[in-house]
């Protein structure tokens, strides 16, 4: 690597790779190292050359007919040059000094204008016209950090409501460009939901979920793609009534119906074991079905399960916990010490169990479901006088105050739960 001194500053001369001859008219480029010390120049040269290559790459991508690629290329080139990409109207309003600085960068030595530089620094590339369906397609990659810890089943359950919501919006307003979405479009969508709620007896919560998912998708794309759009997504939700609380199974119903001899024999063995595991642990069904062999600790002094973010994402940071196994729950896990491969990464557990319970008259009311066992377990702990801190730790809930110390150990929790175990 040989440097040449020009006016006391070292420069490096390199041939332009053939790959970039369409975007760089010069056969050779001279790069200033901004120093007169050769050892410093040698350290700086690779980064300066890489920056040159990045700029040529950005210019090449800007030649494509793909509007998204052109916009991204212009934004990247502006960043390489040390500027934030702004639309032309915003560039025109910049302070005079910055405007002139940008303007000075777009002219070649022969006085001609480098249009790729001009487009990047003077805002000559309009934001791409992304349709609603295209926004959804882009969203998955832009939001991949939100699901990288989820299991395949969790990813499916995360994606599907967003797909449904955007498709519902498209059915009402058409697959229009995001930049064309207006407040009237969203009011039309809200009216469509209002009619749907009345006609089909749906809850307002269904409509509100759609609105939440639509806002999540479109705002993410707008932000991450730096479109700078003012999206009409606020103040659209429906006012909901009192939230229904899922009822708990009574102790009598669990003992004399669910645990009656033969009552669950028609349910497949893995689903039955997960259901029985809930009786004395109160875990969420998804937590039970995701347990692996290393998390089912039957040979411990206190047999227990350890709910951890292994192969799946937990609901919150408080969901990581250990729960002693007692009574029918312990017996169920003895049958499946390696977990439940049938349901580990698949959907359908709750539907299978609830359908069986409903068909066989094992639901205490129309409002009951498999999840009611979780509510029942908390009621039993409450009646037994179990401390709130311990109840919340067992259930994986946040504590409405500072958490001090490590909480109760497994032996203590086992001794508190043993009298109420079924």
Average pLDDT across the chain, whole number: 87
Gap between the Cα atoms of 208 and 163, Å rounded: 15
Percentage of the chain modeled with pLDDT above 90: 42
Gap between the Cα atoms of 323 and 295, Å rounded: 11
**b vs e for 258-282, b when ≥16 Cβ sit within 10 Å of the residue's Cβ?**
beeeebbeebeebbbbbbbbbbbbb
Residue the block writes with tokens 């259930």: 395
Task: Please report, for the chain, the start and end positions of each structural domain, with discontinuous segments joined by +.
Answer: 3-121, 132-224, 251-420
The sign of the torsion formed by the CA atoms of 84, 87, 90, 92 equals positive
Helix count and strand count (H, E) for the chain: 17, 6
Overall residue count recorded for the chain in this entry: 422
Count CA atoms closer than 13 A to 268's CA, side-chain side. Answer: 14
Least confident of 41-50, 53-62, 117-126, 327-336: 53-62
Express each pLDDT in 278-322 by its tens digit. 999 989 888 898 889 999 999 999 999 998 887 776 777 778 889
Q: What pLDDT is attached to residue 404?
A: 62
**What class has domain 251-420?**
mainly alpha
Nearest of 280, 274, 252 to residue 418 by alpha carbon: 280
Nearest of 26, 28, 73, 71 to residue 54 by alpha carbon: 73
Nearest of 281, 339, 345 to residue 313 by alpha carbon: 345
Q: In a 10 Å sphere around its CB, with 0-12 CB exposed, 13-18 middle and 19+ buried, how is residue 112 labelled?
A: exposed
Contact criterion met (CB below 8 Å) for 217 and 135: yes
Express each pLDDT in 365-397 by its tens digit. 988 999 999 999 999 999 988 888 888 888 887
């Amino acid at each position: 690597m040989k440097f040449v001194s020009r006016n006391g500053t070292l420069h490096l001369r390199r041939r332009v790779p053939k790959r970039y001859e369409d975007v760089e008219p010069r056969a050779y480029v001279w790069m200033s190292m901004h120093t007169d010390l050769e050892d410093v120049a040698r350290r700086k040269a690779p980064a300066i050359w890489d920056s040159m290559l990045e700029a040529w790459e950005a210019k090449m991508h800007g030649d494509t007919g793909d509007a998204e690629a052109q916009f991204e290329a212009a934004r990247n080139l502006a960043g390489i040059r040390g500027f934030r990409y702004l639309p032309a109207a915003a560039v025109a309003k910049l302070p005079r000094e910055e405007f002139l600085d940008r303007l000075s960068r777009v002219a070649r030595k022969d006085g001609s204008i480098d249009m790729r530089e001009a487009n990047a620094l003077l805002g000559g590339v309009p934001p791409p016209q992304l349709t609603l369906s295209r926004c959804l397609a882009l969203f998955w990659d832009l939001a991949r950090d939100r699901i990288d810890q989820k299991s395949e089943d969790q990813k499916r359950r995360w994606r599907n409501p967003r797909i449904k919501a955007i498709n519902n919006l498209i059915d009402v307003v058409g697959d229009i460009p995001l930049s064309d979405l207006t407040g009237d479009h969203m009011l039309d969508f809200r009216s469509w939901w209002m009619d749907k709620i009345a006609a089909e007896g749906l809850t307002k919560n269904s409509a509100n979920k759609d609105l939440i998912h639509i806002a999540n998708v479109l705002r993410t794309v707008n932000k991450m793609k730096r479109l700078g759009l003012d999206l009409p997504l606020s103040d659209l939700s429906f006012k909901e009534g009192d939230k229904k609380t899922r009822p708990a199974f009574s102790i009598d119903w669990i003992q004399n119906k669910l645990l009656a001899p033969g009552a669950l024999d028609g349910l497949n063995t893995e689903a039955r074991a997960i259901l029985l595991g809930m009786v004395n642990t109160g875990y969420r069904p998804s937590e039970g079905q995701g347990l692996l062999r290393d998390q089912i600790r039957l040979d411990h002094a206190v047999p227990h399960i350890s709910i951890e973010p292994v192969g799946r994402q937990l609901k919150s940071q408080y969901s990581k916990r250990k729960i002693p196994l007692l009574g029918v729950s312990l017996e169920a896990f003895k049958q499946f010490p390696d977990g439940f491969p049938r349901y580990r990464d698949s959907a359908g557990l709750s539907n299978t169990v609830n359908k069986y319970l409903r068909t066989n008259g094992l639901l205490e009311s129309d409002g009951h479901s498999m999840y009611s066992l979780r509510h029942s377990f908390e009621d039993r702990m409450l009646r037994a006088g179990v401390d709130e801190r311990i109840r919340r730790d067992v259930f994986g809930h946040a504590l409405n105050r500072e958490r001090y110390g490590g909480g109760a150990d497994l032996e203590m929790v086992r001794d508190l739960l043993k009298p109420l175990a079924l």
